[in-house]
Amino acid sequence: MATCGQGGRTSRRIGGIVLRAIVTLLMVAILNFILFRVIPGDPAGLLLDGSRSAVTSEQIEAQRERWGLDRPLIPDQVLDYLSATAKGDLGYSFKFRGQRVSDLLLDRLPATIALVGVAQIIAISAGVMLGIYAGWRRGGAVDTIATGGSLALYATPSFWLGMVLVVVFSTKLGWLPGYGAYSPGADTGSLAWLADYLRHLVLPASTVALGIMGQYVLVARAAMSDVVAEDYMVTARAKGLTSGQMLLRHAFRNAMLPVVTLVTLNLGYVVAGAITVETVFAWPGIGSLTVGALNARDYPVLQGVFLLLGTSIVFANLIADLAYGLLDPRVTQ
């Protein structure tokens, strides 16, 4: 009976979380639709704009019919848009004429995933270790430096950090490349090519990592300070466990909980940071695609980027909400 009631509550909780994610996702898509419609000028005219030849009203009319622009905005066009979007049809780019937006996004996605993924791994491992140590030895020298440094990193725009790293490590010292993802003329797929790619990845990935590391340090430190004060830590000490054993067996796991949620919840901010960092390093990912689209007023690409980012952020949040219930059984009770 009791387990049945709890199961019902859990599934209701999960249902609520999923429903909220769907509503948010719909809002992303609808905002996207509205934005594209309020741009002055007829979309059909915009479509034909780049052809540079005189456009007749018949041509515009034909375009309007072809793209369904002659039908009522609500509900026909909204539904059309939503169903096309659900099928992965995001329209065609203005700037790269004839190219599908979805192809452009897929083309650029791996570079961004590599950048953000490597940066997250660096930031999580370094940030959590530093934060846990700082929280464990609260008030010590490491704590003071780590907390101050993290606050400073938190307040620093990451792309500026990237520019500073380029000046120091690329221009002045000449250790690492600060531009692009490959050296020209490299043979794709070879081991040398991979090494070259990784060398190009070092500075941008470190930049993104430093940009997010501050938060991980602060959160891990705060969580650790809470854990240290818990009764079970006193018990562990009374049992005669060494500091190392206490840290590994009891403190680490509990201190990781807020970090895990932060990592997933933070995805939007990490990707937002990566957009600007990619610009600094001319990294061929979603970020440089976005900035290029912005400057060329390539609205379909911009809308596609927004949809992609919005969807991944909503999913990351969904995972965070669900994972939180799994990791902390108290949530479901």
Q: Which residues bind another protein (CB under 8 A)?
A: 20, 23-24, 27-28, 32, 35-36, 38-40, 151-152, 154-157, 159-160, 163-164, 166-167, 170-172, 178-179, 215, 218-219, 222, 225, 265, 268-269, 271-272, 275-276, 279-280, 290-291, 294-295, 297, 299, 302-303, 305-306, 309-310, 313-314, 317
Shortest Å, Cβ 162 to another protein: 8
Virtual torsion, Cα 162, 164, 169, 174, nearest 10 deg: 110
Name which of 246 and 314 has its Cβ closer to another protein: 314
Name which of 236 and 310 has its Cβ closer to another protein: 310
Shortest Å, Cβ 306 to another protein: 4
Shortest Å, Cβ 296 to another protein: 11
Q: What's the rounded Cα separation, in Å, for the pair 206 and 169?
A: 12
Name which of 62 and 73 has its Cβ closer to another protein: 73
Shortest Å, Cβ 190 to another protein: 27
Shortest Å, Cβ 59 to another protein: 23
Name which of 241 and 260 has its Cβ closer to another protein: 260
Shortest Å, Cβ 60 to another protein: 19
Name which of 50 and 244 has its Cβ closer to another protein: 50
Name which of 268 and 325 has its Cβ closer to another protein: 268
